[in-house]
Amino acid sequence: MWYETKVTRTLNIKYPIIQAGMAGGVTTPELVASVSNSGSLGNIGAGYMSAEQLKVNIEKVKQLTDKPFGVNLFIPESPEISEKEINKANEWLQPFREELNLSEVSEVKKANALIFEAQIKVIIEEEVPVCSFTFGLPSKEIVERLKKKNIVIIGTATTVKEAVANEEIGMDMVVVQGSEAGGHRGTFMGSFEDAMIGTMAFVPQTVDHVNIPVIAAGGIMDGRGVLSAMILGAEAVQMGTAFVTSLESGAKEQHKEAVLRSFEDQTVVTSTFSGKPARGIRNKFITKMESHEKEVPKYPIQNTLTQSIRKEAAKQNRPEWMSLWCGQNPRSSKQQSVSEMMSEILSEIDSIVIGKIKEW
């Protein structure tokens, strides 16, 4: 069958479809479990979670499914940022805070390697079957600890060179994130601009240069997308935006509505929200901050500086100041349950495959 691949066999799932771990509240236990129950792989987006929050989420998912699921983590980054740079960024952000009546400036929080280590410990203790990473590579030591427990590990790459590095450190499979992808760029070698490779060009080149299975991501929203990625040599796909608007998703209503209403020419890659390039729907915040694009403090500093603005904007129903992460294929988004989405994808693939066989 078209859906049996090295990825489905290794992950012990039926369909080669992976719901992206999406940090920031999108991946409710209900979403993760519904995806896994439908025969695909659900993932907890744990990038911003403490070890305790992660444990609670894992336990909730386990109550809702006995199928495999994964946890997605961010490799911690600690850029050196001066007080002066932080003050400058706070000055740029002050007008947004005033509009929202926010009196306090957010506290600067640095990425903490200890939190990452604690997240890994929880994943091992809870015997989570799959662990994926973005923003870089974990240490060899962490790779070995996870593998010793038979946890399948998946890395993220935005160039062939990064995919090879993932293979060399011992990843079992690699997500190749095309430039269409919504959310943060996973680039960790060289500039992100050079690593903006469309999925159609990126997948076959990676398949030709690594031996581990390739998972295609970026702009895939339906059966056509799944099948095309597999024809290019991918052994599974990872979808993010398509799940943002699902009924089980925990995305804010304003975010869901913005994705459902957007077109292919309305997303932009911006560092203004977090200090790391990410694709989202253009809004007033991005446009007003655009002139500081290259100067905002690097991730995760800018992310912590804008945190209260994003949160308060959601509370006050001001989507123009929220980060509305979204890939380049929002016209294909639908508001439907995971089970409806999955059965549509599968019947679309069946009819394409059967139709083609008849034509031939």
Ligand X SMILES: Cc1cc2nc3c(=O)[nH]c(=O)nc-3n(C[C@H](O)[C@H](O)[C@H](O)COP(=O)(O)O)c2cc1C
Question: Which listed residue (162, 167, 180, 222) binds ligand X by CB under 6 A?
Answer: 180
Based on CB atoms, which residue is closest to ligand X, 215 or 346? 215
* CB of residue 94 to ligand X, shortest distance in Å: 27
Task: Answer for the pair 47, 109: CB distance below 8 angstroms, yes or no.
Answer: no
* Residue with smallest beta-carbon separation from ligand X: 240
Based on CB atoms, which residue is closest to ligand X, 210 or 237? 237
Based on CB atoms, which residue is closest to ligand X, 207 or 237? 237
* Stretch of 101-109, 139-147, 264-272, 322-330 contacting ligand X, by CB under 6 A: 322-330
* CB of residue 319 to ligand X, shortest distance in Å: 14
User: Of 65-104, which residues contact ligand X (CB under 6 A)?
Assistant: 72
C-alpha dihedral over 125, 26, 249, 265, to 10 degrees?
A: -140
CA 185 to chain centre: 9
Q: How far apart are CA 17 and CA 103, in angstroms?
A: 44
CA angle, residues 351, 357, 360, in degrees to nearest 5 = 135
Residue 137, C-beta contacts closer than 8 angstroms, at least 6 positions apart = 75, 155, 165, 166, 169, 188
**Using the rule CB under 6 A, is 304 a contact of ligand X?**
no
Mask of contacts with ligand X, 200-239, x by CB under 6 A?
A: -----------------xxxx-----------------xx
What angle do the packed helices 160-169 and 199-207 form, to 10 degrees? 40
**In the chain, which ranges are continuous DSSP H helix?**
6-11, 29-37, 51-64, 83-99, 113-125, 140-148, 160-169, 199-207, 223-231, 241-244, 253-261, 284-289, 301-315, 338-359
* CB of residue 28 to ligand X, shortest distance in Å: 13
User: Of 29-58, which residues contact ligand X (CB under 6 A)?
Assistant: 45, 47
Count the helices and strands in the chain (H runs, E runs): 14, 11
User: Of 244-283, which residues contact ligand X (CB under 6 A)?
Assistant: 244
* CB of residue 152 to ligand X, shortest distance in Å: 15
* Stretch of 87-95, 175-183, 203-211, 266-274 contacting ligand X, by CB under 6 A: 175-183
Residues engaged in binding ligand X (CB under 6 A): 20-23, 26, 45, 47, 72, 134, 156, 177, 180-183, 217-220, 238-242, 244, 325-327, 329
